[in-house]
Amino acid sequence: MPDPAPAQISVDLSGQTALVTGASRGIGRAIALALARCGAKVACVARDAAKLQETVAAIASAGGTALAVACDVTKRESVDEAVTKVTTDWGRLDIVVNNAGITRDTLLPRMSDEHFDDVIATNLRGTFLFTRAATLVMMGQRYGRIINISSVSGIRGNKGQSNYSASKAGIIGFTQSVALELAGRNITVNAVAPGFIETEMTSVLGDEFKDEARKHIPAKRLGQPEDVAECVVFLASRAASYITGQVMTVDGGMTV
């Protein structure tokens, strides 16, 4: 039985537009749904637009507005086209959530160049490309919220994830640097670092593994995608206007 989802916070994002990468499933899907629930129009981004239809349909059925955008986050041309499409269709871009990420877990002696390069390209380069493209729009607006999804693995490392941990640690350093550059333009840049979140990617680990994981989490439960989504909603709101360059851990106390 899944652990409970958190209560929903009330935030008004009406009139704003958002873009969420990796929105076809898991944490990205939960973030897209949460932003739409608060009134934002949401561009849902993934490599395969067909896989986004469930997310877009769920937003539409709840009375929201969403757009499916096919994009390879590792390619500058594809990223620039995605941002241009959103700003052309909707006139502005207020919120960007860089969530797209992959894993290629293995111990370092067995890690290939491709295992390392693929993870860095998607997780870190993708965050860089979308942030740069969005910044050009947001600077003109003199308003924006950029939220990058890191991981507790980027804070303290994890065996078998040297590539993933490096990418997520890189996102933290990138976030803090860009936050300093953009603070004077009314653009905040923050990172969210989830702990063990129950998603399709973790569902294959089995109940025994999850029960063992709970023993190492002070909150004694696994996180849900909605736990991360509600944190993102807060950071995307005007209530968080004086918060920038921060890393918000959503991990039930794992990194305390």
At 224, phi and psi to the nearest 5?
-110, 155
Catalytic residue among 128, 130, 143, 164: 164
- Judging by DSSP bridges, how do beta strands 41-46 and 187-194 pair with one another? unpaired
Contact (CB, 8 A) for 110 and 159: no
Dig out the tokens for 217 from the structure: 């989490």
Contact (CB, 8 A) for 200 and 54: no
The secondary structure of 101-130 as a DSSP string is -------GGG--HHHHHHHIIIIIIHHHHH
Catalytic annotation present for 143: no
Q: Exposed, middle or buried, 135 (CB in 10 Å: 0-12/13-18/19+)?
A: buried
Contact (CB, 8 A) for 72 and 78: yes
Residue 45 parent element (H or E): strand 41-46
Q: What is the DSSP letter of 196?
A: S
What is the spatial distance between Cα 35 and Cα 103, in angstroms, rounded to a whole number? 26
Active site members: 164
